Every structure is written in structure tokens, then in C-alpha cells.
């Protein structure tokens, strides 16, 4: 909220100067994308980059607003109470499902309407270049002999869940250490405190290029274009697939023309050669889902997460 005016001003002027906002069929002139990430944070930088390409496709000005607090609880409350006129949207990541389930805030993911999905971030398992582990099997074998030390970036997160599932499916013993973000985790992998860590490729990119980190496997459903030799966890026979989505949700009851405009714009943005170069370099995988499919996807995702949290006793 604090940053609303300045970001609005800066982005609006940036958008205007490049692409004159043409009053197309879209019902409003300015679209606000709300994120719970702080300015300069991962989702925030991602959204601002994307909004540059989104603005001309929708024919509106696109601004990013940071509504922080309560790991997304505030942002969800903000959106759930906003009018469904196509002016205000929420940038979704798995966080909003986790916060809804764990914190039971007043407004949850069920009070929002998933609109379209843009990306799936691949999650990879990595280790320090100097470690003795060459493959994921080495790690699993070692953990079967003596208690393993694995790391996830945040306490209740998709990464944590993925490791817990990997532990359960292999039946090995491992302590799963949680951190305060990917950077914290990486230090502990680099200095050998942890055997493996899980994170998004973009978080470890610089270390990867410097050859300080070795990738062992990816949790995605297919091999990654940038790392064709990297096996997926599923094909190694451990049966864990993780889909960290990045999409858009709005208030309930979005009009049909807004939904259609977004479905078209999302596909056009993802196909834009210029943007493609940027996001592929950042190891994001385009994964467009239209409104109908995305709603289903979010529901399945939430149900899976809920049953995991319920089985492990985190929630009642």
C-alpha cells in the first residue's frame, strides 16, 4: 500500500511512453496486479517484467502493487473484497494456498477466482560441487545408511512438502532443515552442512554458472530444456512431481469479456519472442492454462496440499 502511488506513477509513465494505452474493449484503463512479495523480491521483479509485455496486449496500463503482511493473507483479503470489474488481480504462487490452509485467515484462496496460469517454475535438487554425491541415488543410498541432512528454503512450503514426500517414498531417514529463504539454504549447502537443497534454478543461477553447485535432479514433470541431461525425480523412480505455479487470480464473479481478454493476452505474452528470451534465460517454463483448467488445477493442488498437511498433522 505504501508503494502504491509511486509505483503507479512510475510504471504508468513507463508503460505509456512505450505503448500508448489504446482504449480497447477492456472495461478499465488501469489494471493493478497485487503481490504479497516485497519490492525487489522474486515475485515482484517477475511481475514487473511481465507487466511490460502484458500492458500492450490488454490495451491498458498495468501497475504492480505490494500488499505485504501475513504471507499473503492481507493481499487475499484485499482482493476478495475488491469489485470484480477486471481492474484488480492477485499474482498467485503456491504460498496463497499454504497460507489459506495453515493460517486459516478470514479470506482464503476459495474466496478468489483463479483466472489464468502463466508459468511453472522448475524446482531442482542441488548439492555443492565439492560433495561426493554425483546422483540423487547416491544421496538416497547415503541417507539409508546414516541419517541424511536435507534442506528446504521455508518452513511450510512446496519445497518442504516435496522433500517430505521424497523421504516417505524412499523410506530413508533424513532431517529436513528449513530456512528463511533460498539464500540461507544455499550457504548451508555450499559449506557442506547440508547434503542437498531444493530450490528454483534462478535462485542458484550464479553459483551454477561458476561451477560451485551441481544439479542432481528436477521435480518437474519433464526434463528441462536448459538441462537436458538432468533426470527428473519421477523417472528416477521416486514418484514425486512438484508444480510451482505462477498465475493470476481475481475476485469472484469476473465478467466473461475480462476472462476472454486475459486468456488471449496471456497466450500472446508467452509467445512474444522478446519476452520468451527473457523468461527462458531465467529458467521459467511457460505453461498457459485457460480459466476453466486453472480453476481445476488450483483445486487439485489445494486438495493435495491439504491432505498432505492433514496426514502429517499440521492442520486438523
Partner 1 sequence: METLYLVAVHLGNPYVFLAAAAGVTWGILGGAMPGISPSITMALLLPFTYTMDPTGAIVLLASTYVGAEYGGSIPAILIRTPGTNAAAATVIDGYEMNKQGRAGLALGISLYSGVLGSLFGLTMLILLSKPLASVALAFTPPAYFALGVLGLSVIATLSGDSLLKGFVAALLGLMIATIGTDPVTGANRFTFGSSDLLSGIAPVLIMVGMFAMSELLVQASDRSEGTKVLSRPRIEFPGLKLARRLMFPQSIGATIGTFEGVMPGAGGTIASFMSYNEARRWSRHKEEFGKGSPEGIAAPETANNAVAETALVPLLSFGIPGSNSTAILLGGFLIHGLVPGPMLFTRSADVVHGLYAGLFIAAIGLLVIGILMLPMCIWLVNRPRPYLSAFIFALILSGIFSIHASLFDLAIMLAAGTVGFFMRMLRIPFLPAVLGLVLGYLVESSFRRSLVLSGDDLSIFFTDKVSLALLVVAFLFVAGSVGKRALDFVRHRPSAHYSEGSE
Partner 2 sequence: MLSRDFVSGLAAISIGAIYLVFAYGLRTSALDDSVGPGGMPRAYGWMMLILGLMIAAGSIIKHIRSGAAPDLGIEWKGQGRRVVWAAGLLAIGALYIFGISTLGYPVAIALLLAAVSLYQGARPGVQIIAIGIGGAAFLWAVFVLVLGVSMPKGLFILL
Task: Answer yes or no whether residue 184 interacts with partner 1 by CB under 8 A.
Answer: yes
Q: Which grid cell is 197?
A: 537443497
Q: Which grid cell is 158?
A: 512446496
Out of 147, 252, 277, 310, the only residue in the binding site for partner 1 (CB under 8 A) is 147
Number of Cβ atoms within 10 Å of the Cβ of 126: 25
Shortest reach from residue 177's CB to partner 2, in Å: 9
Q: Which grid cell is 256?
A: 466473461
Query: Out of partner 1, partner 2, none, which partner does residue 277 contact, by CB within 5 to 8 A per kind?
Result: none
By residue count, the chain amounts to 316
CA 316, CA 65: separation in Å to the nearest integer? Answer: 34
Residues between 80 and 119 with contacts to partner 1, criterion CB under 8 A: 98-99, 102-106
Shortest reach from residue 1's CB to partner 2, in Å: 5
CA 86, CA 259: separation in Å to the nearest integer? Answer: 8
Residues between 193 and 222 with contacts to partner 1, criterion CB under 8 A: 193-194, 205-207, 209-210, 212
H or E element in which residue 246 lies: strand 244-251
H or E element in which residue 305 lies: helix 291-311
Query: Out of partner 2, partner 1, none, which partner does residue 135 contact, by CB within 5 to 8 A per kind?
Result: none
Residues in binding contact with partner 1, number by CB under 8 A: 59
Q: Would you call 158 exposed, middle or buried from its count of C-beta atoms within 10 A (0-12, 13-18, 19+)? A: buried
Reading across the β-sheet that carries 196-200, which strands appear in turn? 174-178, 148-152, 196-200, 123-128, 213-218
DSSP state for residue 110 in the 8-state scheme: G
Shortest reach from residue 154's CB to partner 2, in Å: 12
**Which parts of this chain interact with partner 2 (CB under 8 A)?**
1-6, 156, 160, 164, 311-316
Shortest reach from residue 81's CB to partner 2, in Å: 16
Task: Answer yes or no whether residue 144 interacts with partner 1 by CB under 8 A.
Answer: no
Task: Give first-to-last CA distance, the chain, whole Å.
Answer: 33
Shortest reach from residue 160's CB to partner 2, in Å: 8
Contact pattern for partner 1 over residues 42 through 81, marking x by CB under 8 A: --xx--x-------------------xxxx-xx--x----
Largest Cα–Cα separation, the chain:
65
Out of 160, 243, 246, 291, the only residue in the binding site for partner 1 (CB under 8 A) is 160
Name the site residues for partner 1 (rule: CB under 8 A). Answer: 1-3, 6-7, 9-11, 14, 38-41, 44-45, 48, 68-71, 73-74, 77, 98-99, 102-106, 147, 149, 154-157, 160, 175-180, 183-184, 186-188, 190-191, 193-194, 205-207, 209-210, 212, 314
Amino acid at each position: 500500500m505504501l508503494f502504491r502511488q509511486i509505483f503507479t506513477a512510475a510504471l504508468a509513465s513507463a508503460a505509456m511512453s512505450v505503448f500508448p494505452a489504446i482504449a480497447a474493449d477492456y472495461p478499465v484503463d488501469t489494471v493493478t496486479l497485487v503481490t504479497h512479495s516485497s519490492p525487489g523480491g522474486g515475485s515482484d521483479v517477475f511481475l514487473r517484467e511481465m507487466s511490460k509485455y502484458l500492458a500492450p496486449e490488454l490495451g491498458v496500463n498495468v501497475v504492480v502493487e505490494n500488499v505485504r503482511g501475513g504471507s499473503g493473507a492481507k493481499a487475499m483479503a484485499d482482493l476478495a473484497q475488491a469489485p470484480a470489474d477486471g481492474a484488480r488481480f492477485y499474482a498467485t504462487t503456491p504460498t496463497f494456498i499454504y497460507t489459506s490452509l495453515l493460517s486459516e485467515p478470514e479470506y482464503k484462496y476459495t474466496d478468489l477466482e483463479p483466472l489464468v496460469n502463466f508459468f511453472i517454475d522448475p524446482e531442482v535438487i542441488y548439492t555443492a560441487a565439492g560433495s561426493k554425491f554425483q546422483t540423487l541415488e547416491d544421496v538416497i543410498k547415503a541417507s539409508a545408511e546414516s541419517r541424511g541432512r536435507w534442506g528446504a528454503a521455508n518452513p511450510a512450503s512446496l519445497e518442504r512438502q516435496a522433500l517430505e514426500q521424497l523421504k516417505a517414498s524412499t523410506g530413508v531417514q533424513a532431517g529436513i532443515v528449513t530456512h528463511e529463504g533460498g539464500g540461507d539454504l544455499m550457504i548451508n549447502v555450499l559449506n557442506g552442512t547440508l547434503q542437498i537443497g531444493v530450490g528454483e534454478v534462478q535462485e542458484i543461477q550464479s553459483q551454477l554458472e561458476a561451477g560451485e553447485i551441481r544439479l542432481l535432479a528436477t521435480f518437474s514433470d519433464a526434463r528441462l530444456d536448459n538441462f537436458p541431461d538432468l533426470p527428473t525425480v519421477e523417472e528416477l523412480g521416486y514418484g514425486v512431481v512438484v508444480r510451482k505455479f505462477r498465475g493470476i487470480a481475481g475476485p469472484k464473479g469476473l465478467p466473461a469479456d475480462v476472462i476472454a481478454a486475459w486468456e488471449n493476452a496471456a497466450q500472446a505474452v508467452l509467445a512474444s519472442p522478446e519476452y520468451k528470451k527473457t523468461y527462458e534465460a531465467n529458467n521459467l517454463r511457460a505453461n498457459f492454462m485457460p480459466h476453466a483448467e486453472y480453476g481445476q488445477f488450483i483445486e487439485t493442488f489445494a486438495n493435495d496440499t491439504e491432505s498432505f498437511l492433514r496426514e502429517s498433522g499440521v492442520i486438523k
